[in-house]
Amino acid sequence: MGSIAVISDIHGNITALEAVLDDIKARGIDTIFCLGDLVGKGPNSQRAVERIRDICEVVVLGNWDDFIQKPAEIEEVNWYKAQLSKGSLDYLSTLPFHHDFYMSGKYVRLFHASAKSVYHRVVPMRDSYEEKLAMFDNTEKITHQGILPDVVGYGDIHAALIEPVRPQKILFNAGSVGNSLDIPQATYTILHGEYLSAKPSPFSIEIIRIPYDIEKEIAIAKEMGLPNLEAYALELREAKYRGAYGAKG
């Protein structure tokens, strides 16, 4: 058996990221995948990109990673963009839309938001069965060989879950490391099984919650002059979206 740590939605929160990485290391897990949104919302986008580049074997594109590369009229988005070096912006532009692999006989597909787009949000607690089933489609965004996934993992909504969608189909959300909106702790997911094996064998998904020093992160944000500091602080403390950013999620 092996394990893959799946992290997502770092959003420049280095305090939470380091707490999660310490936990992953303590569990002896060497393989880490990231489902995007390295930047924005929190104070340390540049450091987040540097750290993720250093420790993650796979990183896919998030909506913030995409639109921060484009011209913006929203002041706070430009604040985040100004943090990033040209090298980091260039790196974000190279991130793939998805990543597919076998694990314990299951074909696993990972992306940031949905099979349609990094901007197409799917909230299982709200959306229809058909919308959830569409997460397993091969769309024009997906490079594939005619194989449909058995397991789909994503980020974007900042709320971790594991849900059987139909027999032999599992949908999971990795939660958010840096901006959880379901519980005020850093969250990530572990996949347990035989990595890169198409042979059926035991497979499981585990959601991990990590307490971290939220007040330390808020103090860092204040010191750096983060725009909309009050909204950011409330989100971290209460795990509720405050709607004061250039993009949600």
Rounded Cα distance between 135 and 121, Å, is: 11
Q: What is the DSSP string of 35-57?
A: -S--SSSSS-HHHHHHHHHHH-S
Rounded Cα distance between 39 and 55, Å, is: 16
| Mean local confidence (pLDDT), 138-158 | 94
Put the strands of the sheet holding 58-59 in their side by side order: 58-59, 31-34, 2-7, 186-193, 204-210
Say yes or no to pLDDT of 144 above 90. Answer: no
What pLDDT digit, counting tens, does each position of 212-241 carry? 999 999 999 999 999 999 999 999 999 987
How many C-beta atoms lie closer than 10 Å to residue 141's C-beta? 15
Say yes or no to pLDDT of 247 above 60. Answer: no
Question: Strand locations in the chain, DSSP E?
Answer: 2-7, 31-34, 58-59, 98-103, 106-111, 151-154, 161-166, 169-173, 186-193, 204-210
The pLDDT, as a whole number, for residue 74 is 82
What pLDDT digit, counting tens, does each position of 111-133 carry? 999 999 999 999 998 999 999 99
Q: Which residues contact 127 (CB under 8 A, 6 or more apart)?
A: none
Instruction: Read off the pLDDT band of 167 (50, 70, 90).
Output: confident
pTM of this structure: 0.95
The pLDDT, as a whole number, for residue 246 is 44
The pLDDT, as a whole number, for residue 242 is 65
Instruction: Read off the pLDDT band of 14 (50, 70, 90).
Output: very high
Rounded Cα distance between 237 and 180, Å, is: 10
Let me know the angle formed at the C-alpha of 246 by 245 and 249, rounded to the nearest 5 degrees: 70
| Mean local confidence (pLDDT), 173-190 | 98
Instruction: Read off the pLDDT band of 249 (50, 70, 90).
Output: low
Rounded Cα distance between 103 and 101, Å, is: 7
List the one residue out of 110, 108, 104, 107 whose CA is nearest residue 197.
104
The pLDDT, as a whole number, for residue 76 is 87
**Three-state secondary-structure class, residue 151:** strand
Domains with residue ranges and CATH for the chain: 2-238 (3.60.21.10)
Q: Which residues contact 80 (CB under 8 A, 6 or more apart)?
A: 12, 39, 40, 41, 45, 68
Say yes or no to pLDDT of 248 above 60. Answer: no
